[in-house]
Chain A
Amino acid sequence: MSPTSIFAPLSTPAESIFELSILVLAIAAAIFVVVAALLVYSLVKFRRKRNDDGREPAQVYGSLQVELAWTITPVIIVLVLFLASARVVFAVQDAPRTKDSLEVTVVGHQFWWEYRYPGLKVVTANELHVPVGMRTFLNLLSADTDHSFWVPRLAGKTDLIPNHPNRMWIEPQETGLYLGQCAQYCGTQHAKMLLRVYVDSREDFDRWARQQAAAARDDGRVAEGRRMFEQTACINCHTVSGTAANGRFGPDLTHLMSRGTLGAGVASNTPENLRAWIRRPDDFKPGSLMPPMGLSESQLDAVTAYLSTLQ
């Protein structure tokens, strides 16, 4: 089973679309069968026979009744499809916010995702956490070019366009990890701008949010690595709360180690991968906007050790 199939919805908007799509598919299939059968029949029945007498067949120039019949039938089919579609358009687009619904601001960047939870004072990147069984509204913004948020099992896609705030919502019914990726060409690494949405139970989500809202851990054993981090260009792009690092061009690293992957889903978040990523991000993601930092081996070790403590 594909983890990104549009035919395995587990969230309200995706389910409404799925039900509509089955109706549309059924009508399209029926039309195909009827018209294709007529075509095949006429090709077989009216092919030139071997013993053809060479005379021209009877010339028929048209028939108003027949033309009317095959004009009115498609009109009726189109009306049915239109009404069914319009119902779902309004149901999904005009869904009301409820009092307890969660609000998340999603900011698309070349080539990663920034998530801000204004009510919970949480800022994170690339891995979205939402609670199960309730509506989460996503306010979609872009920091640079067009992007599109598409997790097929949760909802249809909606674009993130600079100067053009958009909104979508999901209402997942089962906990688990849902995959997707950017669906609007946004530059060199459009392909590796992957989406991971964790749907947590209510308790897990609250625990996660509390932990994310806390300040970064300050471990004296990696003071060397922290100094290295704060003295290089890292802090121009990254934030680690409670430190001098407050850049916003790259992902927030305050709780980097709570995430399962690096580089918007391109590699699992292990110390080896982290070290290799810092050395040369292009090895994982050619065209990534993070430059190779030119650190020595010992500096790499120190920075990796520091980042590894950011639980």
Chain B
Amino acid sequence: MATTDVGWIDAGTRPRPLVDRLHEWVTTVDHKRLGLLYVGYGLLFLVIGGIEATILRLQLVRPHNGFVSPQVFNQMFTMHGTTMIFFVAMPIVFGFANYLVPLMIGARDMAFPRLNAFSFWLTAFSGLFLYFSFVGGFGLYGAGTAPDVGWFAYAPLTAKTFSPGHSTDYWTLALLVSGFGSIGTAINIIATILSMRCPGMTLGKMPLLVWLNLVMAGLVILAVSPLTAAQIMLLVDRYLGGHFFDTQAGGSAVLWMHFFWVFGHPEVYVLVLPAFAFASEIIPVFSRKAMFGYPVMVAATVAIGFISMSVWAHHMFTVGMTAAGNTFFVLTTMAIAVPTGIKIFNWLATMWGGKIYFKAPMLFCIAFLFQFLVAGLTGVMMSSAPFDWQLGNSYFVVAHFHYVIVGGILFCIFAAFYYWYPKVTGRMYSETLAKAHFWLFVIGFHLTFDSMHVPGLLGMPRRIYTYEPGRGWDTWHLVTTIGVAFQAAGVLAFVFNLVRSYVRGRPAGSDPWDAWTLEWSTTSPPPEYNYASVPVVKSRRPLWDLKHPEDPDWKYE
């Protein structure tokens, strides 16, 4: 596997049986293995969620299409949204945090290795549990008893009256259990960062990735807890005669909305902060310059963390809040554009005056900058409450948040995959395949999600399984669906590249990018104990100091 074999196993002994090696993966408490398990699990569900999206797109390719029934369509968009947020984005983000944070702070593992394993397996089982719903009822044909209440499951659709049987229970219990897993991992990340940094690494000298993941983990605790509480309340409603959300017994549908979005909006930042984290490591290295305005980037991140807790009701501009209430959430929502804008400008300033290398990780980051700019601006448009009375719950919203999640977050995740692939596997990926992936995905992304904005502007609400002709929506939907083929081809190139390079890629060495953070000072892949001796750092870029003893960073920080 690795070029230099470091570890417990004597090179001479013959390979252990497969069962032993699998057993090792199941019982592991090593942060790197758990990180890989998280990421692999997320990738598996990415493909499943992608298949669901393809079914949705085929149904909408033309008006009055009959590819799937309305019931199946509703189950597909519910499962697609739930899967992509809870079983793709969160696990991948947690996986990278697990793998990278201890390495970047010079630690040998997370603070609580067994809590780490426990959290992963909770998430893993909740995903399997959710998908078991497909087997219930009439089985796969007719999509079983998969939930059909939408990924934000508004009350009272989830009440026993409107959702008899167990489909909603699968959704509730899966999110409840995965929520406990997320909270466990968040506690672990915070404890690790606060107490396991190597000598010399003060808070102000942590890599930006570590800072961003610290704020992300704090947000997880604040955001996922109310969601978990709401799931328990919903279960009480459904099985113990509670009336929190049961409107037919005097409960409140609006209460559920508040509970859900007080989770739902910070959740966006839970996902996007790690994406910012990847960009903040990759852009400096491929521009050959230190991150511009590190303290401001940290301050902006913390500001985003705080403000994101006060914007949730911008998802509720149409539910009949008072004018004063609506205005408050307009202000908080627009305010978050300021620290986010600062981040974009700082990345731009980092590239300014640098020497930009257009390798695959950087290409994905550059596309991210443009796409996230657009996503931010459509977000500002919808933060204006009156404009949102038209755009809210329309296809424009669907296009906007896919621009954030795919155009922003997924592009950064792809960048991170290519950037750290040599570190994780010890092998270089194929740059040609990576560039093919990039261009296919950029084309597919823009075909699909640029055109998706327009039907929203022309009055198309989201979550409809079919539509009337003659409203100017048809052509846009055709183009949207065509884009799916390009994206699928891109993902195929990506997966093929990962697999092929693992076997055939040329050895990467410990520092293929001539980078500056600690993880590049150990072997690729890192040994189980990460560092033979605990590193000591003097600046934010310890490897720069090492490579440029005549002009080290710590003189300027």
Contact between A32 and B374, CB atoms less than 8 A apart: yes
Complex Cα gap A1–B473 (Å): 11
- Please name all residues of chain B whose beta carbon is closer than 8 Å to the beta carbon of A78 when the two chains form the complex: 334-335, 337-338
Residue of A3, A46, A189 near B353 (CB, 8 A) is: A46
Residue of B318, B330, B468 near A159 (CB, 8 A) is: B318
- Please name all residues of chain B whose beta carbon is closer than 8 Å to the beta carbon of A25 when the two chains form the complex: 381
Residue B242 lies at the interface, judged by CB distance under 8 Å to chain A: no
Stretch at the interface among A79-87, A114-122, A205-213, A232-240: A79-87
A28-B377, A190-B464 given; A61·B556 CB < 8 A: yes
Residue A214 lies at the interface, judged by CB distance under 8 Å to chain B: no
- Please name all residues of chain A whose beta carbon is closer than 8 Å to the beta carbon of B290 when the two chains form the complex: 59-61
Residue A88 lies at the interface, judged by CB distance under 8 Å to chain B: yes
A to B contact number (C-beta, < 8 Å): 273
A61-B556, A194-B468 given; A150·B459 CB < 8 A: yes
- Please name all residues of chain A whose beta carbon is closer than 8 Å to the beta carbon of B295 when the two chains form the complex: 62
A24-B381, A82-B330 given; A62·B386 CB < 8 A: no
Residue B394 lies at the interface, judged by CB distance under 8 Å to chain A: yes
Contact between B71 and A188, CB atoms less than 8 A apart: yes
- Please name all residues of chain A whose beta carbon is closer than 8 Å to the beta carbon of B337 when the two chains form the complex: 74, 78
- Please name all residues of chain B whose beta carbon is closer than 8 Å to the beta carbon of A48 when the two chains form the complex: 355-358
- Please name all residues of chain A whose beta carbon is closer than 8 Å to the beta carbon of B373 when the two chains form the complex: 32, 35-36, 39
Contact between B354 and A46, CB atoms less than 8 A apart: yes
Residue A191 lies at the interface, judged by CB distance under 8 Å to chain B: yes
Complex Cα gap A24–B386 (Å): 11
Contact between B467 and A191, CB atoms less than 8 A apart: yes
Most buried by A among B326, B344, B355: B355
- Please name all residues of chain A whose beta carbon is closer than 8 Å to the beta carbon of B247 when the two chains form the complex: 161-163
Scoring B residues 473 to 494 as 1 if CB is less than 8 Å from chain A, else 0, what string do you get?
1000000000000000000000
- Please name all residues of chain B whose beta carbon is closer than 8 Å to the beta carbon of A5 when the two chains form the complex: 457-459, 472
Residue B70 lies at the interface, judged by CB distance under 8 Å to chain A: yes
**How many chain-A residues does the 8 Å CB contact rule pick out?**
89
- Please name all residues of chain A whose beta carbon is closer than 8 Å to the beta carbon of B387 when the two chains form the complex: 17, 20-21, 24, 85
A2-B472, A70-B345, A158-B320 given; A146·B354 CB < 8 A: no
For the side of the interface on B, what is the size category?
35 or more
How far, in Å, is A249 (CB) from chain B's closest CB?
A: 14
Complex Cα gap A286–B70 (Å): 7
The main secondary structure of chain A at its interface with chain B is mixed
- Please name all residues of chain B whose beta carbon is closer than 8 Å to the beta carbon of A166 when the two chains form the complex: 319-320
Scoring B residues 324 to 341 as 1 if CB is less than 8 Å from chain A, else 0, what string do you get?
001100110011011001
How far, in Å, is A208 (CB) from chain B's closest CB?
A: 25
- Please name all residues of chain A whose beta carbon is closer than 8 Å to the beta carbon of B154 when the two chains form the complex: 145-146, 184-185
Residue A92 lies at the interface, judged by CB distance under 8 Å to chain B: yes
Stretch at the interface among A100-108, A175-183, A218-226, A270-278: A175-183
Contact between B331 and A187, CB atoms less than 8 A apart: no
Contact between B351 and A43, CB atoms less than 8 A apart: yes
Stretch at the interface among A50-58, A124-132, A300-308: A50-58
Residue A279 lies at the interface, judged by CB distance under 8 Å to chain B: no
Complex Cα gap A286–B341 (Å): 47
- Name the CB-closest residue of B to A85: B384
How far, in Å, is B375 (CB) from chain A's closest CB?
A: 11
Contact between B393 and A157, CB atoms less than 8 A apart: yes
Residue A133 lies at the interface, judged by CB distance under 8 Å to chain B: no
- Name the CB-closest residue of B to A25: B381
Complex Cα gap A85–B384 (Å): 6
How far, in Å, is B390 (CB) from chain A's closest CB?
A: 4
Contact between B341 and A70, CB atoms less than 8 A apart: yes
Contact between B377 and A157, CB atoms less than 8 A apart: no
- Please name all residues of chain B whose beta carbon is closer than 8 Å to the beta carbon of A3 when the two chains form the complex: 459, 470-471
Residue B137 lies at the interface, judged by CB distance under 8 Å to chain A: no
Tell me the residues in window 1-56 of chain A with beta carbons closer than 8 Å to chain B beta carbons.
1-7, 14, 16-17, 20-21, 24-25, 28, 31-32, 35-36, 38-39, 42-43, 46-49, 52, 56
A60-B292, A156-B386 given; A47·B457 CB < 8 A: no
- Please name all residues of chain A whose beta carbon is closer than 8 Å to the beta carbon of B471 when the two chains form the complex: 2-4, 179
- Please name all residues of chain B whose beta carbon is closer than 8 Å to the beta carbon of A20 when the two chains form the complex: 384, 386-387
- Please name all residues of chain A whose beta carbon is closer than 8 Å to the beta carbon of B463 when the two chains form the complex: 185, 190-191
User: Which residues of B are in contact with A by a Cβ distance under 8 Å?
Assistant: 69-71, 74, 148, 150, 154, 156-157, 162, 247-248, 250-254, 287-290, 292-296, 318-320, 322-323, 326-327, 330-331, 334-335, 337-338, 341-342, 344-346, 348-349, 351-358, 366, 369-370, 373-374, 377-378, 380-381, 383-394, 457-468, 470-473, 548, 551, 553, 556-557
What 6 A-B pairs have minimum CB-CB distances, sorted nearest first? A156-B389, A4-B459, A2-B472, A191-B464, A162-B247, A166-B320
